[in-house]
Structure 1
Amino acid sequence: MEVRDFMIRKIFTVKPSDTVRELLHILNSNRIGGVPVVDDNDHLVGMVSDGDVLRYLAPKPLGIAGLVYIIEDGDMEDVLQEKLNTPVKEIMTKRNILYVSPDEEFEMAIRLLSKHHFKKLPVVNGAGRVVGVISRGDLINNISKRLLQPDNELFSLFG
């Protein structure tokens, strides 16, 4: 079985210039935890996740004065509103982006996801374009559907 057999083809992406606000809208409205960041030619330039957003939005203590400023009424909301206008390129992962190709054996995706504790991997074709995403949840779901059928040999191993 190849990655193409398990990948999600309906993918959501963002551009580096999109704002954190726009990113949050995509994540929330589609109930997903992260997306590839692509350039105008759909080439992978980074990844951004809900964890990246939370780490960015979390208050950072800057000494006593900084804590007092953030805790004052209304100021925290103002800080968050301002941060929502930040471009995605400021918070995305840009280095050592791992990905798989549609032709790779799905075992490679499983190894990468488990070894690096990733939740999802972009699927990139030979032209460098993002053509899908493969996630831990999708793998588990598809493995269950495809391999744990009563007429499948593997079913007896788990049943």
Structure 2
Amino acid sequence: MQARDLMITDVQTVSPEDDVADVLKRFARVRFSGFPVIDDERYLLGIVSESDLVDLFEPEDETLWIPIGFPPFVDTLTYQIDVPWNDIDTGLDFVRESGRPISKVMTTDVVTVDPDADAETVLDLLSGDPDVNRVPVVDADGRLVGLIARQDVIRALRDRGLD
């Protein structure tokens, strides 16, 4: 089995100019959690996932550094400060972030395969990093030709039978 046997070719994508609000609406209507970001010629520019957008509305991790001892304070204690979701003004965050283009929040370091990649390579990519939930399939020029999600691999294995 090769990537071409596992991939779907009718891939829903977004443009780098699409804004956060529009992409959030699209996520609300689909049953998957990431879109490839492509230009007009189908060159893959990145991936935007639900978690990329959720990160916009979560507070940055704040760390409190407490010096211990006498100057030059060679040791510190670190405490994590967690802000409860109820204390976040998500409405204000949404207004502030909703007009941003997806190109500003997408992941650009995308793991890809070509259509001739073997299934083992795809499985290694999907099982090696918990943040990789889909693998774009690109041609030699870098144009998107398909997408393989974890469920596509599982479905293919099921359909083939586990002998």
TM-score tier after normalising by the smaller chain length: 0.7 to 0.9
Q: TM-score, normalised by structure 1?
A: 0.79
Q: TM-score, normalised by structure 2?
A: 0.78
Taking the aligned partners of 1:139 and 1:16, their CA distance within structure 2 comes to: 28
Aligned amino acid, residue 155 of structure 2: N
Please state which structure has a larger fraction of its residues in strand. Answer: 2
Taking the aligned partners of 2:24 and 2:144, their CA distance within structure 1 comes to: 20
Write out per-residue CA displacement over residues 46-74 of structure 1, whole angstroms, 9 at most, x where no aligned residue: 111111111112134779xxx7xx948xx
Quick check: 1:76 aligned with 2:109? no
User: Structure 2: 5+ residue runs without aligned partners?
Assistant: 64-82
1:100 matched residue in structure 2: 113
User: Structure 1: 5+ residue runs without aligned partners?
Assistant: 149-153, 155-159
1:27 matched residue in structure 2: 27
Deviation (angstroms), 1:82: 2.6
SS in 2 for 1:112: helix
Taking the aligned partners of 1:61 and 1:44, their CA distance within structure 2 comes to: 31
Identity of aligned residues (%): 33
1:49 matched residue in structure 2: 49
Retained in 1: the 8 A contact 2:57–2:90? no
Q: Which has the greater radius of gyration?
A: 2
Matches within 5 A, 1:117-132: 117=130, 118-132=132-146
Matches within 5 A, 1:133-152: 133-148=147-162
Write out per-residue CA displacement over residues 7-49 of structure 1, whole angstroms, 9 at most, x where no aligned residue: 1111011111111112122222121100111112110111111
